[in-house]
Amino acid sequence: MKKKIIVTGGAGYIGSHTVVELFNAGFEPVIVDNFSNADKSVVARINEITGSNIELHEGDCCDEVFLKGVIEAEGAVDGFIHFAAYKAVGESVKKPLDYYRNNFDSLLTVLKAMMEYSIPHFVFSSSCTVYGQAAVLPVTEETPVQKQESPYGNTKKVCEEMINDAVNSGAKLKCISLRYFNPIGAHASAKIGELPLGVPQNLVPFITQAAAGIRRQLTVFGNDYDTPDGTCIRDYIHVVDLAKAHVKSLEYLGSRKADNFYDVFNVGTGKGNSVLEVIKAFEKASGQKLIYRIGPRRTGDIVQIYGNVNKANKLLDWKTEMTLEDSLRDAWEWQKGLGRS
Ligand code: NAD
Ligand code: UD1
């Protein structure tokens, strides 16, 4: 029988790609989403890709009664992947309590329901933001977690601690936190991808919108950093590679003998690329010339980060398959498709 996995935030950017990969790997994903940051058409698009009819429960996973109703309706649930959270760093500074409420309550409600219904497996969306500006690169899972600059970053740091505490209490929970680096790109079908609201704050959606003529020009935030070309460095990972890491995490948790387990894994490419390198790679992948200017530094930006991903390679038997150009090509195909719809 297929293992049933509840995917909170399964209509969102990373969640939707993970639902597809879970289906491809023989799991039965069930989506829980309140559509606070997703379009309802995403579920139909997932169904087009998978040729199936993925179960959807619309509602808020901070709502205990709703969530328990979902579990009871679904019967034997093997695990949760918990994406549902608010994620905009800048907005979190302006609305910290909204971020603490949604990101903490949703996690607490899910974990408590899992314990009540003896659901064993849990994968959590964390972020490389927990490392801040690390002194030594690439960062490993042993790199110290730092005090966070934003309420958003703080929710990730504290959520990891909450999961660890729940596992340490002796609860029958097997949990993994995945520390994502910078997810970019879209599904090769161009049916699902990232849907930023308003002016994109992140680099790649801004690039694709600028190339599509929706934005006048890209501003590179600073070229006087202490890096080879003066621009900031990040570890950009294709969202489908990232989605597959969730499948591998569930398989790994399923293979653990003990019924109490917690670990964290970096999920990136292991390679850093500068903003100028991303621009060049985009131009090559898309055949589009990008208009950009050099602007001032963005407040709060770290200079560079990229991850050592040996632990996930080895223990999860996972590795990235896509290049930076693959990611940018798929991001561009997705953007062009948006223009048509
Ligand atoms: P997203 O906003 O596209 O997806 C989140 C989904 O959760 C949305 O569909 C939203 O409607 C839903 N949601 C939010 N709160 C909910 C609630 N209380 N109940 C039910 N549904 C709710 O974001 P994403 O980029 O797919 O990110 C997914 C997760 O990964 C988040 O936890 C985010 O913090 C984390 N993360 C994202 C990035 C990134 O760059 N995108 C990096 C590191 C970590
Ligand atoms: C930001 C968040 C991080 C979150 C990630 C993905 C901060 C401090 N960090 O990371 O917590 O996990 O988004 O959602 O906000 N850039 C430009 N021009 C632009 C946009 C970006 O030059 O118009 C540069 C930035 O300066 C940065 C790089 O591109 O050097 C990547 O930026 P972005 O996509 O916003 O991601 P992060 O800053 O890594």
Considering 13, 86, 131, 152, which one is annotated as catalytic?
152
Q: Is 100 a catalytic residue?
A: no
Identify residue 73 by its one-letter amino acid code. Answer: A
Q: What is the mean pLDDT of residues 297-319?
A: 97
DSSP 8-state secondary structure symbol assigned to residue 40: T
**Minimum-distance ligand 2 atom for the alpha carbon of 206:** 23
CA distances from 157 to 38, 81, 177 (A): 24, 17, 11
pLDDT tens digits for 43-98? 999 999 999 999 999 999 999 999 999 999 999 999 999 999 999 999 999 999 99
Strand partners, 122: 80, 175
Residue 293's pLDDT is 98
Q: Give the residues surrounding ligand 2 with Cβ less than 6 Å away.
A: 89, 127, 129, 182, 201-203, 206, 218-221, 232, 234, 275, 298, 300-301
- Residue 181 Cα to ligand 2 midpoint, Å, equals 11
The domain 4-185+236-268 belongs to what CATH superfamily? NAD(P)-binding Rossmann-like Domain (3.40.50.720)
What is the spatial distance between Cα 94 and Cα 43, in angstroms, rounded to a whole number?
Answer: 31
Q: What is the mean pLDDT of residues 263-282?
A: 98
Residue 145 has pLDDT above 70, yes or no: yes
- pTM to 2 decimal places: 0.98
Shortest-distance atom of ligand 2 to CA 231: 30
pLDDT at 341 over 60: no
C-alpha 203 – ligand 2 centre gap (Å)? 6
> What region, left, alpha or beta, does residue 256 occupy, with left being phi > 0 and alpha being psi -120 to 50 degrees?
beta
- State the pLDDT at residue 339: 63
Kindly give the distance from the C-alpha atom of residue 85 to the centroid of ligand 1, in angstroms, as a whole number: 5
| Token representation of residue 140 | 């490993």
How many Cβ atoms from other residues are within 10 Å of residue 270's Cβ? 18
The amino acid that residue 227 corresponds to is T
Q: Which residues contact 156 (CB under 8 A, 6 or more apart)?
A: 103, 126, 127, 129, 130, 148
Instruction: For 205-265, give the secondary structure using H, E and C.
Output: HHHHHHHCCCCCCEEEECCCCCCCCCCCEECEEEHHHHHHHHHHHHHHHHHCCCCCEEEEE
**Whole-number pLDDT of residue 197:** 84
- CA atoms of 29 and 195, how far apart (whole Å): 22
CA distance 128 to 264: 11
Rounded distance, CA 170 to CA 91, Å?
36
Cis peptide before 138 (omega within 30 of 0): yes
Whether the Cβ atoms of residue 232 and residue 301 lie closer than 8 Å to each other: yes
Pairing mode, if any, of strands 233-234 and 273-274?
A: antiparallel
In single-letter form, the type of residue at position 237 comes to: I
